[in-house]
Amino acid sequence: MFKNFGKDLLKAFNTGVSYFIPVVVVGGVFYAFSLLGATADSTSGMVATNPFMLNLQAIGNSGLKVMIPVLAAYIAYSFGGKPALAPGFVLGYLANNMADSGITSTGFLGAMFLGVAVGYWVKWMKTWKVSKTIHTIMPILVMPILTTFVFGLLYIYILALPLGMFMNWLTVILGNLQGGSAAVLGIVIGLMTAFDMGGPVNKAASTFTMALMTTTPALYIPNGAFRVAVAIPPLACGIASFIARNKYDDADRQIGISAIFMGLIGITEGAIPFAVKDLPHTLPGIMIGSAVGACLAMVQGVECYVPHGGMIVAFATNNIGLYTLDMAIGTFVAVFILIIMKPNLKKNSDPKIAERAAA
């Protein structure tokens, strides 16, 4: 079953991305347009007030909430077929959207792990010797329910619990750095921001910077560094896809348009499609770029007064010029590293993946 694990894993990730891309585009574009004319709020970030824009934002939020479950579901589907779809959707949602219920989010990394685990589990269940009566209900009842039960509980009790403890530890570490070097704190914030692109490590940095905004006196510089950093991964991936045309295909450039939109409004998740397709050649560049941007913002004392990021909140900072410049420098560094590290496209790459993504 694991004979061709490497090839099967790559195929599964490509399958997940191909179905995941349209959802990212829809969610990101609608959310971006909903913030046109939005006002800055010190507690809620950018707030849309026009009723029509609020409706667009609801549509965009829906897309952003289901994109990770779609990724997990179709990774699982690549291994296990249709019986793996329902567990993939449910567990992907569990991994990404249940923080309000006290379940630690693991973002796209957790969803990818669950997708692979579910896919192989269902593939194994298909080898079970059962009676004809049981066999007819296996794909629609037994496999989905048993798979969701097993991996749902494994996630909650084995993966999410220690991860929550790890996040608390990270928050303590950041607190200890607060009184030390501004440059070191900025670098750590930037690395954490880009590491999992909206996942638990990113959220730990966000929680830390927002907590400092409520202290007396309020500290806004760490939040400024974080808000610079969140925009860099999607901006860098999108720009790199248009510059290095021998390293990114047409499907990548279509994602790149959405990624740039999402970067401008501070949604780090816009870089996830690029990371899923090629994590080893994507993660170093965006982490270094975000670290550079956040470090510069910390050293220069750039403050951001709202819990939102990207260029859309530039007017809610104490220095629009430095805020923009730091983001641009971090993005340039990330783009440079991405282009250097990314290998050229293979001539025999599967055209069906790009066709499905563009369809």
Q: What is the pLDDT of residues 308-343, one digit of tens each?
A: 888 988 888 999 999 999 999 999 999 999 999 999
pTM: 0.79
Rg of the Cα atoms in the chain: 21
Distances (CA, A) of 251 to 14, 22, 167: 12, 11, 35
Residue 83: CB partners within 8 Å, gap ≥ 6? 122, 125, 126, 138, 139, 140, 143, 144, 147
Q: Would you state the pLDDT for residue 74?
A: 94
29-51 residue pLDDT tens = 888 888 877 777 766 677 777 88
Rounded CA-CA distance 288/268 in Å is 14
Q: Would you state the pLDDT for residue 357?
A: 44
Q: Does the structure show a pLDDT above 60 at 126?
A: yes
Q: Does the structure show a pLDDT above 50 at 353?
A: no
* 3-class secondary structure per residue, 175-194: HHHCCCCHHHHHHHHHHHHH
- Mean per-residue pLDDT over the chain, rounded: 86
Q: Would you state the pLDDT for residue 359?
A: 45
The tokens of 72 are what? 């997990």
Q: Would you state the pLDDT for residue 356?
A: 45
Q: Does the structure show a pLDDT above 80 at 102?
A: no
Residue 154: CB partners within 8 Å, gap ≥ 6? none
Which band of pLDDT confidence, cut at 50, 70 and 90, is reported for residue 84? very high
Q: Determine which of 36-40, 59-63, 108-112 has the lowest per-residue pLDDT on average.
A: 36-40
